Amino acid sequence: MKKIITLNINGDDYDLAIKPTDFLVDIVRDTVGLTGTKKGCNIGDCGACTVLVDGRPILSCLTLAMSVVGKKIKTIEGVADGPELDPVQQAFIDKGAIQCGFCTPGMILSTTALLERNPAPTEEEIKHGLAGNICRCTGYVKIIDAVKHAAVLKTKEGTDVR
């Protein structure tokens, strides 16, 4: 039996009819239509479905939609500020850290959370921060470079704010 709940996604409230067994990845993609969140393994192994809940990365394929009522959900569609790319997105482009792009939304959200809690991570800390996100294409070197570059861009952005 479906129940009406409200989810706050990227700052907007969505009233949604869902079943208690519905997972967040399916609600975000199929009901709300935000298909930037990817569904890879669907068993918690790949990180493609990563979204932020109250700023922390979670696997939306393992998270019941019911369990995030009242929390702030951020998907890849909520990262950019209007037409302006976020520094993390820009860094991934600058460093060529995207090939097929299937892992990229999850990588960008995990990076966003990492840089929020640690604005200048070491390479080891970056590897640890992205340990739950698998990429089949890039070999990770460019992704790690992109995270380092994003840290620099974000610091610069903070310095530029007057």
In the complex with ligand FES, which residue's Cβ is closer, 68 or 102?
102
Which of 152, 128, 151, 154 is CA-nearest to residue 140?
128
Which one of 99, 118, 140, 155 is in contact with ligand FES (CB under 6 A)?
99
Binding mask 117-156 for ligand FES (x = CB under 6 A): ------------------xxxx------------------
CA 41 from chain centre, in angstroms, equals 16
Q: Is 96 in the site for ligand FES (CB under 6 A)?
A: no
Binding ligand FES (rule: CB under 6 A), the pick from 24, 27, 59, 109 is 59
Kindly give, in sequence order, each residue whose CB lies less than 8 Å from that of residue 21, ignoring residues fewer than 6 positions away: 64
Query: Which of 9, 27, 32, 46 is in the footprint of ligand FES by CB under 6 A?
Result: 46
| CA distances (Å), origin 68, targets 46, 60, 124, 137 | 21, 10, 31, 32
